[in-house]
Structure 1
């Protein structure tokens, strides 16, 4: 995150909006748009691009859409195994060079077979609440995530300086006890109807008040510290 100082809303004011985007249009100036094939430290299969096929807005929604690399005009099946992926040449910049993230070569390993998007807001807050409405993809090989990271890496890189997961999901797998250890809207004893999160857009809300953190999904508190 790249603001000169984190916004600290006064405690007596409960409705200060530090950042909002309704995605009626795409304003790239509000975000850092990742462009890298470094693999996220997990040997992930995607390359993050700023391409319009992977990041675009439509009808008030932001789409972060994975596409097959072979459908890009600069690649085909043969180039996945024997070609080169030069991100500076393709998109004019690269945001993470670790693990050959800016320039990959086929041969010993396959080039990233999937292209996708990854954006980070430039707005920063110290305390407050974050609301995100999102519909999750239901598909093989997808693992979307919404999370917060520190603007300043005071104690080192991830995860030493901390992070807060707002949402992580696997698009082809659902387990009711995966994430939260307390009340859930989908447990057998809950009065909430059982469902997954692929059906419609859900409201994801995290709050951080210094000595208190909470996670709410569709207005049902999942966990509080």
Structure 2
């Protein structure tokens, strides 16, 4: 028996070594790359501009025999370039000479290194207010503003309307791995991407997931996630650092990230994010073109955490006009008139109701204005009152205390329209939606401005959560000044737009109060709907 065991052991060892030898044979020869050639192309370089056009941008192409991938080192910035091509923006002002190190990797990880020098001109210096906005005191952290309509979306390459073709609704992408990401623009020029901001307590955990485009996200490495359409959701990834620099090609302020750095949704491309708008404090609208040159991808980023307090500091405290709704019956005719009929009369939006002035639809009772939408056979009635030609004003703080309808399909609104609407049309007149609520989400309040270039589904808006909007009264407000427009709920600002002479918000506006049914924001109406009411305690204007 011992003899048999020894023979079996020897056979097993022999088989093991034969198997190892066979695996070694399939690995192939380990060969270091040779003949590395790196060609720099300084953008804008010609006889008159030997160091480029001042953008500081240089395109690099590396080739080598037996090379599988490449890595570039630009000082502290390291860029992986599997194909050998990459670009880098040198930002030190003036003409400077930079040493670039390129590593070519071959089979088995063996490598060969070369260096070269490039002399590049950079003439752009980012404005101090932009740098301060991005960096702050050094601890500023950015995120995708998930609570805002259109915080993520797409449109045509070179388009000028954010999320022109698609914009995500508030919280729509909560299950993708995008909303818990955080981005830090450090003072030393490094960019930190935290892929899961909620798992770092009490100790830092670099593991998390990200969101990206199939197959472009494969640039981050192989994965086993099943695509959801053209998306890869919850792609496992780890915290990382790259470098960032601001340039302004064509006068457009642009955030440049090195390597595979990205924000929001991985789209490949050149990892440059144009700043479309930064008028709102602690918020930016940015866009990038994907690696297929197929779409522009849009994002709203904010440095404020969701739900953080942003208490309004008003400059208007003197009561200028009010309707306290303290006389029972029809709304005060000195303050209010009516829109009547169906959407054919000019309000459209595929709404289903017909507006009336009947007491069943609009009445003041016990100090409360009640606008009631009712089922009327196969259709609906409701009311829409307005202060046009009766009370119109420019600038001030508006406060409307209201309780909203709860039924699916109701679309309540408290809003203002430019008094020149009849002569210049919409959106040239401008529109300020102090409060709107969709027919399907009764926990979210929308505040929106419409004007040329920012109207319809691409308007300039924000959203906030008001969980008891249908069971309790809340204060819906706007602070409207020559410099800024702030939309507010219960004293907290949730959307801000910088006002200017270029916008239509510097002349008289009038009020509109209504409850629509169905339509673009009302959506499907509950088949069992009978009636529901928006109740308004008062409308006040302070100047």
Whether 1:144 and 2:416 are equivalent positions in the alignment is: no
1:1-225 to structure 2, matched below 5 A, reads 14-17=317-320, 19-25=321-327, 26-39=331-344, 40-70=347-377, 113-121=379-387, 122-153=390-421, 156-174=424-442, 181=462, 184=464, 186=465, 195-225=467-497
Q: Relative to structure 1, is the Cα distance of residues 132 and 175 closer, same or farther in structure 2, using a 3 angstrom cutoff? A: closer
Q: Relative to structure 1, is the Cα distance of residues 125 and 65 closer, same or farther in structure 2, using a 3 angstrom cutoff? A: same
Aligned CA RMSD, in angstroms, stands at 2.5
Give me the whole-angstrom Cα distance separating, in 2, the residues matched to 1:54 and 1:181: 30
Report deviation, 1:177: 9.1
Asked if the contact 1:138–1:172 (Cα under 8 Å) also holds between the matched residues in 2, the reply is no
Greater Rg by CA:
2
Asked if the contact 2:392–2:419 (Cα under 8 Å) also holds between the matched residues in 1, the reply is yes
Deviation string, structure 1 residues 178-210 (Cα, Å, up to 9, x no partner)? 66658x5x4xxxxxxx72422201101101111
Give me the whole-angstrom Cα distance separating, in 2, the residues matched to 1:61 and 1:13: 25
Give me the whole-angstrom Cα distance separating, in 2, the residues matched to 1:127 and 1:178: 21
Give me the whole-angstrom Cα distance separating, in 1, the residues matched to 2:422 and 2:405: 34
Deviation string, structure 1 residues 12-60 (Cα, Å, up to 9, x no partner)? 984141x211111231231121112125222210000000100001110
Report deviation, 1:220: 1.1
TM-score, length-normalised on structure 1?
Answer: 0.65
Give me the whole-angstrom Cα distance separating, in 1, the residues matched to 2:369 and 2:426: 26
Give me the whole-angstrom Cα distance separating, in 1, the residues matched to 2:441 and 2:376: 24
Per the alignment, in what secondary structure is the counterpart of residue 351 of structure 2? coil
Give me the whole-angstrom Cα distance separating, in 2, the residues matched to 1:177 and 1:207: 17
Give me the whole-angstrom Cα distance separating, in 2, the residues matched to 1:51 and 1:30: 17
Deviation string, structure 1 residues 142-194 (Cα, Å, up to 9, x no partner)? 00001110111387212221101100012432465966658x5x4xxxxxxx7
TM-score, length-normalised on structure 2?
Answer: 0.28
Give me the whole-angstrom Cα distance separating, in 1, the residues matched to 2:341 and 2:445: 33
Give me the whole-angstrom Cα distance separating, in 1, the residues matched to 2:425 and 2:419: 11
Deviates more, 1:214-223 or 1:129-138: 214-223
Q: How many residues align?
A: 163
Unaligned runs of 5+ in 2: 1-314, 448-460, 498-543
Q: Relative to structure 1, is the Cα distance of residues 38 and 174 closer, same or farther in structure 2, using a 3 angstrom cutoff? A: closer
Give me the whole-angstrom Cα distance separating, in 2, the residues matched to 1:211 and 1:178: 22
Paired position in structure 1 for 2:86: none
Asked if the contact 1:140–1:172 (Cα under 8 Å) also holds between the matched residues in 2, the reply is yes
Deviates more, 1:211-220 or 1:37-46: 37-46
Q: Relative to structure 1, is the Cα distance of residues 181 and 65 closer, same or farther in structure 2, using a 3 angstrom cutoff? A: closer
Deviation string, structure 1 residues 115-144 (Cα, Å, up to 9, x no partner)? 000011221111111110010100022000
Asked if the contact 1:137–1:171 (Cα under 8 Å) also holds between the matched residues in 2, the reply is no
Q: Which has the higher strand share?
A: 2
Higher relative CO (Cα under 8 Å, sequence separation at least 6) belongs to 1
